[in-house]
Amino acid sequence: MTDTTSARLAMVTIDCLDAQVEAHFWAALLGGEVQHAERDYAMVSATGVTIGFGRTEDFVAPAWPDRDGR
């Protein structure tokens, strides 16, 4: 018997400096809804996917393009 169940991405969590700020930004951009928002953790639901934002004390925003070519 072959299992035909496929995987589905339900949630992704992104590190950031202020989860509440990120949640409100992405909810507005994606037309989603903020499900929970505080400085340390927030969640947004949009188009069937939930995005979590977790505050990370030592977070460093990526630079584009990366000067080292990574």
C-alpha 27/C-alpha 33 separation (Å) is: 5
C-alpha 20/C-alpha 25 separation (Å) is: 9
pLDDT along the chain (70 residues), means of 10: 78 94 95 94 92 94 76
